[in-house]
A and B are shown apart, each in its own frame.
Chain A
Amino acid sequence: MGDSEQLIELRGVKKAYRTPAGDFYALRGIDLTIRPGEFVALSGRSGAGKSTLINLISGIDRATAGEIWIADQAIHRMNEEKLTRWRGRQVGVIFQSFQLMPMLTCVQNVMLPMDFANLYKSPKERVARAMHLLEQVEIAEHAHKRPSAVSGGQRQRVAIARALANDPVFLAADEPTGSLDSKTADAVFAVFEQLVAAGKTIFMATHDRELAARAQRIVHIEDGLLVEDA
């Protein structure tokens, strides 16, 4: 895998939410391709469909129609179980609300994906790798604290380290700086820039236009349709 020119390819992707008031289309036909190593920002207002698109690409939610190909794999055909295993190894997901496990220490949070994927098998190797990733996001000194004992920006760094745990093909981030003050947001964004420089592919949803402007490519979404690709 990876020899294809496109890493991510979406063809006519639609997503409807069933409400008793009728189907509500959050995505109404998305076509998008992303090449390996790209840093793509997805901008748009609240409710435009940003989160939905991130969820579909990371396999967190399922499309109603259309095809999603990632690294030559047909994501839209996978069942829930396959999708989960695939995501565990191939995708790192970062949320605005961090979604760390509260009862585990920071380093344990980073080790959890390795454990589930059964990668880096020896405990020593896992700890070493987790510590290395925490160092990369400059949070190694808090490794043995619980998430509740560190600040929001630090939690997001832990979440990024966790997203990198299994050396995924790409990172999907949904408003990663949404809960952070501007200084912390800058720092987190800088981490993304480093990762891209190191060859990672990042797809990031944000409503912060300034931040979006610093990505290589901006995709703008409005009411479930891509309206601009710069």
Chain B
Amino acid sequence: MPKLSTRWYKVFHDLWSSRTRTLIVALAVAVGVYAVGTILAAQTLMLREFSLGRAKAQVASAILTTYPFDAELAARIAALPGVAAAEGRATTSVRALTPPDTWRSLNITVVDEFDQMQVDKYLPVAGAWPTQKGEIMLEWLGLDYLGAEIGDTLTIELATGAQKQLQVVGTGHDPQQLSPEIINVTGGIVTPETMTYLGLSHLFTELHLRVDAAHTDPAGVAAVVDAVEDRIERSGREVLNTYVVGRSMIESIVDTAVAILNSFGWIILLLSGFLVINTISALIAQQVNQIGVMKLVGASRLQMAAMYITLVLIYGVLACLIAVPLAVLTGQMLITNLVAELVNLRPVSYALPAEVYLVMIAVGTLIPLAAGLLPVWQGTRITTYAALNDIGIHAEAAGHGLFERMLERLPRRWLQRPLLLSARNAVRHKGRLLRTTIVLVLGTALFIGVISVRQSVNTTQADFLRYHQYDVRLGFGEPLRIARLAAIAAELPDVVAVEGWGLDSALRVRPDGSESNRYQVVGLPGDTALVDPVVQAGRWLTPEDEYAVVLNATVAKDELDVAVGDTIVLDMAGRERPWTVVGIVSTDAQGPKIFINYPTFAYETRTVGKANSLQVISARHDLRAQQSMETILRNHFENRGVEVRSTRTTQRLNAQNGLMFDIIVGFLILMAVQLGGVGSMGLSTTMSINITERIREIGVLRAIGASNGAIRRIVLLEGLVIATVSWMVGFVLSYPAAQFMSSAIGIALLDMPLTFTYALPAALLWFVVLLGLAVVASLGPARSAVTLTIREVLAYE
């Protein structure tokens, strides 16, 4: 005979003899641990690796553009007070041949000393630095984008049309570079010698500046930038542009994703806590008779508490064994498969800090313990008689609460006793019902909310295309006569219509004399059919407008002092002019934009009758048709001797916008699945517990003439009542919840609320799912109840 004391055999047999129950309880606990663990793991990894990447890359505080300068000036600036590092760079945009015959954009940046980089660093990933002439190191995501491998030779075409060969010798990680799939361009670095080889200047035009720790606040950065501008100007160069690095899109995406995970994490923790409490307390409540027997033979309170603590801890440990590895794995998978490429993360480590494991283990063990201790304590406190006869502990007398009174108001004809029985049974264990209802109501509201946010994201994404109501855009290196462009395009049978736009850039000269970052300026006909703006303030352009501008929301956010009706000074094409702001429109997620009526734009840029961008409407608008049109147009224009700098289809633009939302949508779906899972588990466990506890009553119903069908109806109705009432409350709450979430997520991500769309189909589908779950969860125990003969049911009296 083994050495274990007899009482531990009871614990062991409780676990082993009811393996199915053990598994169900462990799973109920595991669902909570998994939900919380996944969220924590994903959040922790994403935040840590993202900040780590940016910290290692030593992101610039500001980038100043000026006339060509050498490393010596950069070194002198680096020595200025408040400057931590300053390096010269120059970037040139080229096209690279991507097999078999696509040209893709590549920004080649010249770097002086690769291993001395102190700001906006490339972190080597594979291969070697491109130290030799004719070598290039690509951003690591660029390999796939350009269809290249390390060792390959890349054919590039310069702005002049000249083609050159560069050898890819390595890859590096630039954490600031978004996925090329989103921004449609990748990058690479070369030596000054290679720039000369390409026929370009080896000098720098950009000064990348990083302030020291004492100056990281906006005022500090501004002060240091001022000093640097002075220093550059004293060297005889005019500062052409100053770009103060703000919050990037990547940061918005990461911050929003983290915020989503964080807020839902707490709610899911609460809900899974309720789930665990319901399961464990019902389990212990079923043990009251055995507690009575143990008291009968002299078990002290502490002895029994120790037994049940052990039992519950084993459930918890089992749950953790199932859930912790799965949660960690899921968290890591979310990073590698969803986040890493899109926000360009290269996680150094997937290790999770101890706190994450501790929280998971706490959810898996402490909550069940807390849930189990109360009933054990109550069970050991009542007299042995009460425990043996299992009275006095969970007998919550049928009360006369609000629900009861509501039921009594229903007409008697309408409310048959079986329905009444279902309704009363549902409210019998008020604590359990309350917890189940909270789980289901919150689960429902948030599930619908989350799906609605997803819908809103889609709608918002569709709204971006309101500014691109054409099929293909052709970009030219210089403004060309619109009449000629239109004539060439018209030669193609599938071209329905074309419109020439002028694109340039401008910066705002603020009243205090400071200058803004450069904003894109779009000169387009005031009555264009290709833009269907969402006007947030004022109005859209008219053909009569002259010195009138419409700002998009991104500009308006940067220039907070500007309101509709104000006059602002723009520096465009080297001329400062006052312009009247007539309206503010929503963003198209393509950065800051200022819209100007074409005639005024053409006059100001001295490009009358010319455009550097041609918008083409073709006969068909699907992705494939647009892509073939894109190639046809490019070839056709080049055959006609017109060099095309860039092309873009609107379907591709839409797809790229979608990629930006992918992470957010991915996490939203994850939340929806987890809320759904916890909600389902909550309903299922409550129903099986409720039915299992009432097997004897089912026997009584049998004895007084209830057929199988009648018993099934009574049992089913109870589940359906709980599911329906919870869904209705959750449904009502889901609308404001969805509205709030879509606005909060929109503001976090795009500085504007998403275009709200309520996911009614999801709400209805969820209702069907809940009803289905109620049926499944009730029918299982109900089936075993009807197969028992009355003798078995009533036997133990």
A and B touch in the complex (CB under 8 A): yes
Residues in chain A within 8 A of chain B (CB atoms): 55, 59-62, 80-81, 83-85, 87-89, 93, 97, 99-101, 103-104, 108, 111-117, 123-124, 126-127, 162, 165-166
CB distance from B256 to the nearest CB of A (A): 52
The 23 listed contacts between A and B (C-beta, < 8 Å) are: A60-B296, A60-B388, A61-B384, A80-B380, A80-B382, A83-B384, A85-B300, A87-B295, A99-B296, A101-B10, A103-B17, A104-B13, A112-B7, A115-B5, A115-B7, A116-B7, A116-B294, A116-B298, A116-B300, A116-B303, A124-B1, A126-B6, A165-B297
Residues in chain B within 8 A of chain A (CB atoms): 1-3, 5-7, 9-10, 13-14, 17, 290, 292-301, 303, 380-386, 388, 796
User: Bound state CA distance, A116 and B385, in angstroms?
Assistant: 19
Q: Which of B9, B299, B381, B796 contacts A116 (CB 8 A)?
A: B299
Q: B6–A81 contact, CB under 8 A?
A: no
User: Bound state CA distance, A55 and B383, in angstroms?
Assistant: 10
Q: B14–A103 contact, CB under 8 A?
A: yes
Q: B384–A60 contact, CB under 8 A?
A: yes
Q: A87–B17 contact, CB under 8 A?
A: no
Residue of A nearest to B797 (CB): A97
Q: B385–A60 contact, CB under 8 A?
A: yes
Q: A99–B293 contact, CB under 8 A?
A: yes
User: Bound state CA distance, A228 and B399, in angstroms?
Assistant: 44
By a CB distance below 8 angstroms, the chain B residues around A59 are 384
User: Bound state CA distance, A80 and B377, in angstroms?
Assistant: 12
User: Bound state CA distance, A127 and B290, in angstroms?
Assistant: 22
CB distance from B308 to the nearest CB of A (A): 14
User: Bound state CA distance, A166 and B299, in angstroms?
Assistant: 13
Given contacts A103-B10, A104-B9, contact A61 B383 (CB under 8 A): yes
CB distance from A49 to the nearest CB of B (A): 14
By a CB distance below 8 angstroms, the chain B residues around A87 are 295-296, 298, 384
CB distance from A119 to the nearest CB of B (A): 9
Q: Which of B6, B295, B298, B386 contacts A104 (CB 8 A)?
A: B6
Given contacts A60-B296, A88-B298, contact A108 B383 (CB under 8 A): no
Q: A112–B6 contact, CB under 8 A?
A: yes
Q: Find the residue from B2, B14, B295, B388 having the highest chain A CB count within 10 A.
A: B295
CB distance from A162 to the nearest CB of B (A): 7
Residue of A nearest to B292 (CB): A99
CB distance from B207 to the nearest CB of A (A): 78
Q: B296–A108 contact, CB under 8 A?
A: no
Q: A101–B293 contact, CB under 8 A?
A: yes
By a CB distance below 8 angstroms, the chain B residues around A61 are 383-386
Q: A80–B10 contact, CB under 8 A?
A: no
Q: A103–B13 contact, CB under 8 A?
A: yes
Q: Which of A60, A101, A115, A124 contacts B290 (CB 8 A)?
A: A101
By a CB distance below 8 angstroms, the chain B residues around A85 are 298, 300
User: Bound state CA distance, A83 and B387, in angstroms?
Assistant: 14
By a CB distance below 8 angstroms, the chain B residues around A165 are 297
Residue of B nearest to A61 (CB): B385
Residue of B nearest to A88 (CB): B298
Q: B295–A84 contact, CB under 8 A?
A: yes
By a CB distance below 8 angstroms, the chain B residues around A124 are 1
Main secondary structure on chain A at its contact with chain B?
helix
By a CB distance below 8 angstroms, the chain A residues around B5 are 115, 123
User: Bound state CA distance, A165 and B320, in angstroms?
Assistant: 40
User: Bound state CA distance, A162 and B384, in angstroms?
Assistant: 17
Residue of A nearest to B18 (CB): A103
By a CB distance below 8 angstroms, the chain A residues around B384 are 59-61, 83-84, 87
CB distance from B447 to the nearest CB of A (A): 40
CB distance from A65 to the nearest CB of B (A): 16
Q: B9–A108 contact, CB under 8 A?
A: yes
Q: Find the residue from B6, B13, B299, B384 having the highest chain A CB count within 10 A.
A: B6
Given contacts A104-B9, A104-B10, A116-B297, contact A97 B796 (CB under 8 A): yes
CB distance from B379 to the nearest CB of A (A): 11
Q: Which of B1, B13, B290, B300 contacts A123 (CB 8 A)?
A: B1
Residue of B nearest to A59 (CB): B384
Given contacts A101-B290, A103-B17, A104-B13, contact A60 B300 (CB under 8 A): no
User: Bound state CA distance, A103 and B9, in angstroms?
Assistant: 8
Interchain residue pairs A-B with the least CB separation, the first 3: A88-B298, A103-B13, A61-B385
User: Bound state CA distance, A60 and B14, in angstroms?
Assistant: 25
User: Bound state CA distance, A100 and B297, in angstroms?
Assistant: 10
Q: Find the residue from A61, A99, A115 having the highest chain B CB count within 10 A.
A: A115
User: Bound state CA distance, A144 and B563, in angstroms?
Assistant: 89
Residue of A nearest to B3 (CB): A123
Residue of A nearest to B290 (CB): A101
CB distance from B222 to the nearest CB of A (A): 73
Q: Which of B290, B293, B295, B383 contacts A62 (CB 8 A)?
A: B383
By a CB distance below 8 angstroms, the chain B residues around A113 are 297-298
Q: Find the residue from A101, A114, A162 having the highest chain B CB count within 10 A.
A: A101
Residue of B nearest to A119 (CB): B298
User: Bound state CA distance, A60 and B13, in angstroms?
Assistant: 26
By a CB distance below 8 angstroms, the chain A residues around B299 are 84, 88, 116
By a CB distance below 8 angstroms, the chain A residues around B294 are 101, 112, 116
CB distance from B612 to the nearest CB of A (A): 84
Residue of A nearest to B4 (CB): A123
By a CB distance below 8 angstroms, the chain B residues around A127 are 1
Excluding A103-B10, A116-B7, 11 further A-B contacts by CB distance (< 8 Å) are A85-B300, A87-B298, A93-B296, A97-B796, A101-B290, A103-B17, A112-B294, A114-B6, A116-B298, A126-B6, A166-B298
Q: Find the residue from A84, A93, A101, A162 having the highest chain B CB count within 10 A.
A: A84
User: Bound state CA distance, A127 and B6, in angstroms?
Assistant: 10
Residue of B nearest to A144 (CB): B1
Q: B10–A60 contact, CB under 8 A?
A: no
Q: B6–A111 contact, CB under 8 A?
A: yes
Q: Find the residue from A80, A116, A126 having the highest chain B CB count within 10 A.
A: A116
By a CB distance below 8 angstroms, the chain A residues around B385 are 55, 60-61
User: Bound state CA distance, A99 and B290, in angstroms?
Assistant: 8
By a CB distance below 8 angstroms, the chain B residues around A111 are 6
By a CB distance below 8 angstroms, the chain B residues around A89 are 298
By a CB distance below 8 angstroms, the chain A residues around B386 are 61
By a CB distance below 8 angstroms, the chain A residues around B6 are 104, 108, 111-112, 114-115, 126
By a CB distance below 8 angstroms, the chain A residues around B10 are 101, 103-104, 112
CB distance from B109 to the nearest CB of A (A): 73
User: Bound state CA distance, A103 and B21, in angstroms?
Assistant: 15
CB distance from B306 to the nearest CB of A (A): 11
User: Bound state CA distance, A126 and B383, in angstroms?
Assistant: 28
CB distance from B66 to the nearest CB of A (A): 84
User: Bound state CA distance, A110 and B170, in angstroms?
Assistant: 77
By a CB distance below 8 angstroms, the chain A residues around B7 are 112, 115-116
Residue of B nearest to A114 (CB): B6
User: Bound state CA distance, A102 and B388, in angstroms?
Assistant: 14
Q: B300–A112 contact, CB under 8 A?
A: no
Q: Find the residue from B1, B292, B303 having the highest chain A CB count within 10 A.
A: B1
Q: A117–B298 contact, CB under 8 A?
A: yes
Residue of A nearest to B15 (CB): A103
Q: B300–A84 contact, CB under 8 A?
A: yes
User: Bound state CA distance, A86 and B308, in angstroms?
Assistant: 22
Residue of B nearest to A89 (CB): B298
By a CB distance below 8 angstroms, the chain A residues around B290 are 101
By a CB distance below 8 angstroms, the chain A residues around B381 are 80
Residue of A nearest to B12 (CB): A103
By a CB distance below 8 angstroms, the chain A residues around B14 are 103
Q: A88–B297 contact, CB under 8 A?
A: yes
User: Bound state CA distance, A141 and B436, in angstroms?
Assistant: 49
Q: B1–A60 contact, CB under 8 A?
A: no
Residue of A nearest to B2 (CB): A123
CB distance from B455 to the nearest CB of A (A): 52
Q: Find the residue from B13, B14, B384 having the highest chain A CB count within 10 A.
A: B384
By a CB distance below 8 angstroms, the chain A residues around B17 are 103
Q: B300–A81 contact, CB under 8 A?
A: yes
User: Bound state CA distance, A127 and B298, in angstroms?
Assistant: 18
CB distance from A24 to the nearest CB of B (A): 15
User: Bound state CA distance, A83 and B300, in angstroms?
Assistant: 9
User: Bound state CA distance, A59 and B2, in angstroms?
Assistant: 33
